[in-house]
Amino acid sequence: MPNPLITHASQPYPLVASSNDSDPPSRRGDTIPVPRAKRRRHQPLKVANQIPQIRRKEIEKALEKGSKTPEKWSRSSSWKSHRIGGKLVKPGTVRHIEYDLMDVEIGESWPIPITIIHGARPGPVVTISGAIHGNELVGPLALTYLRAPSIIGEDKAIDPALVAGTIRIVPIVNMPGYRRRSRYMTDGRDLNRFFPGNEDSNTTSRVAHRLWQEIFSPSDHIIDLHSAALGRTNMPQIRVNLANRLSNRSARAFGTEVILDSEGPRGSLRRTADDAGISCITYEGGGADESDPEAIQIAMYGILNVLRSLKVIPGYPSRPRFRLLASGSVWLRSDYGGLLDVLTPAGSFIEEGELVATVTDPEYPGKSMEIRTPTQGLLICTATHPFVTTGTPIGHLLPIIKGLKTVRRRLDEEGLLVLSGADGDPPWREDDDIEDISVEGVWEGGSPDAEWGENPESAAEEEAEEADQI
């Protein structure tokens, strides 16, 4: 099926076809359908063999600790109304509320929209958030489409009568930032560095506290949607702490090829949720101030995949052909100052020594310098802003040594990786059919984003600084 978001831009809503719930899924290319009943219900989680040994042991240990069977939701237990922000949502209904980021008697309370789909049957609470960074629009767009009348097939919206559990959709968390088209809150702070927040501290910390207490911590699962910060763009990818058993499961269920194993920055929603034992994954796709149709479509498929794998909505999750489980990366940097022209977009597979970008300088007309890659791999993020100085990162590369054949098979004629879901409805396949490919190394600076120079203070660091000043 063609990509509806890309090829039929005039359609009011994307039409996401899905496996028909009443038909057993069949493998594409196979004539014999796979009987579902024979599938193991709770398969042990696989840890890629080639993940660096130390990290592999950490993950295995953590997975063992929590190896109890997943929670079963009793159908006979009384399933009550869902309470959120002082409001009640009856089972089997959808409610749209406005939730105030600030509880104030006078002044702006910053209401944000939240849609709650409270299922007719018991199940987990899944909170899906966008625009914690106010200018990252892939999240808000994907979450708007998630409520579309044809999201799970022609004329099929998510029906609360068929939902087991509660889906809470928060398309724009940082409304003050969104209104100003800014990543930050009004006090210039990064909301995603201040969780779990503090009700007596600065504005951003107070908002984080309220969100954490009332929206995020009463969740079983969180999916947080992001895009790259201004000046760069991400190919669709999941970031997760693979040592958290439930997050690990959600990350795989999301169904996109690239999974970066990292803890997340201090004060981020993901790290805070992880520490509190709540499953949380971050999706990254596209760039700030951009509407990236492919990133939006993959986000929608991914959310549906996670909801299906949790049995919150009916149907079967689709899975990619392979997963790159990455624990490290290589930064491509400019050795020159000037204006950058990136020749290989994010998502390109590049060969060792390949020309990735050129740098020119209007002060030296006619001169052009080349930036070549030191190693082969997948470019997961590139700079989009042309200004560079020597040392500026211009790309973020996953060096790929293992599984090369598998990866190459999914490249288009331009050398771009065709992501699951990018070319239409992704196929269903067994989890055992997926090849796990590890990318070894370390995250320079501790986080996949650190080398872009974005190291906003966390609440703890800022408080330490304030204390020093007094």
CB-wise, 139 or 377, nearer to Zn ion? 139
Question: In terms of CB distance, is 156 or 239 closer to Zn ion?
Answer: 239
Between 140 and 377, CB nearer to Zn ion: 140
Minimum separation from the CB atom of position 288 to Zn ion (A): 8
How far, in Å, CA of 264 to CA of 266, rounded?
Answer: 7
- Smallest distance, Zn ion to C-beta of residue 95, A: 27
Residue number, 133 or 209, with CB nearest to Zn ion:
133
d(CA 461, CA 266): 10
Size of the site for Zn ion (CB under 5 A): 3
From start to end of 131-269, where are the E strands? 164-170, 221-228, 232-240, 258-261
From residue 87 to residue 126, what is the string marking binding to Zn ion with x (rule CB under 5 A)? ----------------------------------------
Quote the crossing angle between the two packed helices 293-309 and 245-254, to the nearest 10°.
Answer: 130
CB of 190 to Zn ion, least distance (A): 9
Q: Contact at 8 Å (CB) between 420 and 237? A: no
**By C-beta, is 133 or 189 nearer to Zn ion?**
133
Specify the residue, 226 or 245, whose C-beta has the smaller distance to Zn ion: 226
Paired strand residues for 372: 355
Cα–Cα separations (whole angstroms), residue 25 to 33, 304, 429: 7, 16, 8
Peptide bond into 196 cis (omega under 30): yes
Q: Beta-carbon neighbour count of residue 52 at 10 Å?
A: 16
**CA nearest neighbour of 310 among 250, 240, 237:** 250
| DSSP-assigned beta bridge partners for residue 166 | 118, 125
Comparing CA positions, the residue from 128, 127, 125 lying closest to residue 139 is 128
Tokens 């869902």 sit at which residue? 82
- Minimum CB separation of residue 183 from Zn ion in Å reads 7
User: Whole-number minimum distance, CB 419 to Zn ion, in Å?
Assistant: 20
Using CB under 5 A, which residues numbered 120 to 159 contact Zn ion? 133, 136
Token representation of residue 371: 């930036």
Q: CA-CA distance, 370 to 372, in Å (whole number)?
A: 6
Nearer to Zn ion, 287 or 399 (CB): 287
* Cβ closest to Zn ion, residue 184 vs residue 428: 184
Q: Is 226 in the site for Zn ion (CB under 5 A)?
A: yes
Hey, CA dihedral for 212, 217, 219, 225, is it positive or negative? positive
264: left (phi over 0), alpha (psi -120 to 50) or beta: left
Q: Rule CB under 5 A: is residue 429 a binding residue for Zn ion?
A: no
Q: Which residue from 153, 170, 139 is spatially nearest to 14, judged by alpha carbons?
A: 153
Exposure class string for 153-181: b at 16+ Cβ within 10 A, else e: beebbbebebbbbbbbbbbbbbbbbbeee
Minimum distance, C-beta of residue 381 to Zn ion, in the bound complex (Å): 13
Nearer to Zn ion, 133 or 156 (CB): 133
Interface with Zn ion by CB under 5 A: which range of 25-33, 74-82, 218-226, 338-346?
A: 218-226
Min dist CB 134 to Zn ion, Å, is 9
Report the residue number, 193 or 226, with the smaller CB distance to Zn ion. Answer: 226
Residue number with the shortest CB distance to Zn ion?
226
Least Å distance, CB 282 to Zn ion, is 8
Closest approach of Zn ion to the CB of residue 137, in Å: 11
Minimum CB separation of residue 462 from Zn ion in Å reads 19
Q: Assess 270 for contact with Zn ion (CB under 5 A).
A: no
Q: Which residues bind Zn ion (CB under 5 A)?
A: 133, 136, 226
